[in-house]
Chains A and B, each alone.
Chain A
Amino acid sequence: MSLNSKIPSGPLEQKWSYYKSHQNLVNPANKRKLDVIVVGTGLAGASAAASLGELGFNVKVFCYQDSPRRAHSIAAQGGINAAKNYPNDGDSVYRLFYDTIKGGDYRAREANVYRLAEVSGNIIDQCVAQGVPFAREYGGLLDNRSFGGAQVSRTFYARGQTGQQLLLGAYSALSRQIEKGTVKMYNRTEMLDVVLVDGKARGIITRNLVTGAIERHFGHAVVLATGGYGNVFFLSTNAMGSNGSAAMQAYRRGAYFANPCFAQIHPTCIPVHGDYQSKLTLMSESLRNDGRIWVPKDKTVSEKLRKGLMKPTDVKEEDRDYYLERRYPAFGNLVPRDVASRAAKERCDAGYGVGATGLAVYLDFSTAIQRLGKHVIEERYGNLFQMYEKIVDENPYETPMMIYPAIHYTMGGIWVDYELMTTIPGLYAIGEANFSDHGANRLGASALMQGLADGYFILPYTIQNYLAGEIRTPRMSTDAAEFVKTEAEVKERIKKIINIKGKHSVDSFHKRLGHIMWEYVGMGRTRESLTKAIELIVALRAEYWKEVYVPGTNDEFNPELEKALRVADFLELGEMMARDALNREESCGGHFREEYQTEDGEALRNDDKFMYASAWEYKGDAAPEMHKEPLNYEFIEVKQRNYK
């Protein structure tokens, strides 16, 4: 199958309006006859489900948590970008588009990103209308702050809980539709497969996580809003339940998986402190607005700090190396995430790291506290400082925070065209679950923007272009042979995993997979490390299917079984990430191949050979086949990224 991205013709700034004025729509009477399934209730899923319900479609929504309000979008701290130009500092749709393309290291589609920037302003309007309590100035208007990778202040925020407030906004819109009966909500229900009838997505198979009941659901179209797969690494900033299983189910049914190797490592997380650790906690990137990152200039000082013989506050100003300010004077501490992460790793690898493990750098607020006063810092970051103190037991007003990079977000995901449809007709992917807008690196405060853009303003249009052709398709009985067959396959997989009755827990395998990923498919990748990773993951997967132990049965509340099914998918996803990283012989964004770097250690792209999105097609037991979607930059000049 050749990839058709379906980008409308015409000038960049007219593509989306042209599309909207020429697409097919569904009339109100027909909307009532059409069922849409939405899986996931994060920003993308909740906003899409609410908007589709408002339009009059019959919507069924699923989440694995006990309430749609728990989805992990809720944990996003810093903010949401929009090209409103309220601060009058020179922002525009074009500039947001340009920053996003450049931040993504020229590996995203121009047309998609432009559309994203175009609708960004509507998102803020929508959220304010819902009552989202964004931060305000004394005059009563909205406040903005700056974020990595941009030279303007375009980030709207609600203290350090922007994701929470935006998600609760979408959740409230969703709740309103549930009350009206246009949306039916299934809490504690996990998707286990997608059902295809005559090549089109027609429904899903789910497991009721309370009773274990396996159920069939029909939809004229299916939308996956199931988030990213960062938990392949076991330790990440994702929620414990975040998983890549829906994406893998779609992949195994024929949806291509794009750019799996593009994973974002966030520079400001609380460092790892023990092998019992279950997750890593992010400290918002907004902290880099006022915090300065440093390590000592002298290795022997670093060593004393590691051993606790000295305190960071004892290190004199002239003995500190503010390495981001030194290397990147134009952007300083606000370079994009991939650049900041690699710079931290470089310093630690060179022996300058601090903290007991030597895998940490300082994020210091003393200059900002002197300049602005403690109360200003408290107002801006109070809850983050409190969170840090609860975890680490140190007071960041008095001593610098220690931070280190951690896996945070996956730019890769299910391949989608301009309409957000996957290679399976009728199957859509939105939000972090798709690959579309962030290229090889996502800028801070752009995930919230993309999730809500997809859910409120893009999918509710584009899905109608497909559904307009389905108005004559009657609701299908879930007794159809395809549903029965897919359900039987799901049940078989569950039976198989429970019946292994091996000796080791699911978590023990997941941790081992995480070690392989971090060690060999992490921040610095090489041909050797990736080849080794593939070998190790294949072996681990074989061992998993012989040695894992899942207690209990399918017919009960059984979190171990839930984890077992997810980890089985991570074991396939990890291999695909390594394969993709091995294929991509260049460094770009979050993907850093040590063989491909400039003399001063910056990522070195190879546009002649790799100016494409890779899209992997499942081939059963054989190796997956890679397809290429060439990226044509018609409107902007492709450059070497430069934050100096």
Chain B
Amino acid sequence: MSTTKDFIVEQLKQKISDFKSEAKEQTVGKVTEVGDGIAKISGLSDVMMSEMLEFTNSGNDKIQNSVYGVALNLEEDSVGAVVLGDFSGIKEGDEVRSLNRILEVPVGEGVIGRVVNPLGQEIDGKGSIESEKNYPIEKIAMGVITREPVTEPVQTGVKAIDAMIPIGRGQRELIIGDRQIGKTAIAIDTIINQKGQNMKCIYVAIGQKESKIAGIVKKLEDAGAMEYTTVVLAGASDPASLLYIAPYAGSAMAEYFLDKGEDVLIIYDDLTKHATAYREISLLLKRPPGREAYPGDVFYLHSRLLERACKLNKEYGGGSITALPIIETQAGDVAAYIPTNVISITDGQIYLEPDLFYQGNRPAVNAGLSVSRVGSAAQIKAMKKVAGKLRLEAAQYRELAAFAQFGSDLDAETKAKLERGKRLVEIFKQDQFNPLSVEKQVSIFFAATQGLLDNVPVEKIIEFESGMYTYLEDNGGGVLGEIAEKEELTDDITEKLTTKINDYKDTVDYLIKE
């Protein structure tokens, strides 16, 4: 007993003798004005832009409540700052200390599988985040000599996207559409499909309902996707300052893995709310409003964020950050201010259309308006081969279908095109949380483009599709595995695949007889 006591006393003595305290000179200011999450501070003459500030409650000595803030406006004799967190305790006359460092978040392996707030603090109740490193949230994007063109694909597992609007590692692809038509669903499917694809995922929720995020986290956990995913959450009830820094914090966490040469997928859901939060802060800080009351630098707000997505060349580690920003439009108005800004920044967009959605074509991807500026460079050879004509055929079908509504007399060629198109539309339908591997996608598109589906009734296509996958898995003689491995359609594989699909067709009884 006494030995433990001695040990403790010894330890304490050691600690106290090791303890050195020096009086350090600190810069302090005084709060002159607070309200709506921002504070005006006098003093703090040598504070840096976006430096962290600590607000201390001078009145209450017993509980030292410190709240952090960021200096955003440096004026002649005052500093405008946003308060990160609860600002209700801050009074006029409170002391503000500058901490001599730019706002940072903890990064590292410790954040994987966690739900954190934009300051990197845990909010999932699984204990504090272990990390050795901090990264500044604002960072200038990698320069041109460090980059290389995008070549490797990100398999989203969504047929319509992987075939027609391929996304590459290091690309920035915008997902745009009205509310409630499956923008987040595409992003979540993409995360789920990254299992075993050597990809870390970061999902940044900006101004989302916490119930929705809880649902998403549950879905990701069930799919085993939280093993490589971090969720950065700034909820709808969080102050605008947290919403504003959330995507930058997520980006800083992604850059840690980039520096290690890994591939990261980051989703910003959604940047419309981010712009709104920034507008709120800017107006409160009395910056002059511009179009739609957004401040003059909203473009830079998003361009500097999305420019941090990159594909590095081998000399710089070869890592990549793929960004999937989401923008919500009002009644399909893509010509509004923020949507046009982000469209011009990104390398293409996936446009989701309400009409398609309500017709039951889900995911409601509009093939005509959606583009990927990286294009087929980000597809495996096999997919390139089968998907080359798909976009064209899908677009032609839509035009013909509108035209054919009026006349009943059609020539054989047009009829054939229409029939093919109907089947394509059926193939592009896909359930949520059901991403498809690339070899299966290749096999169904192969069947469609080779005309093997032409005598399968349109209403039976979905049934046929899932039956075909099962058949190819069980009796395919490893043809799916070969496609996945070789990544191209050799003559050998083409022949084998054709025979196997025809074999399966012989087992079904709903084929149209000639």
Do A and B truly interact?
A: no
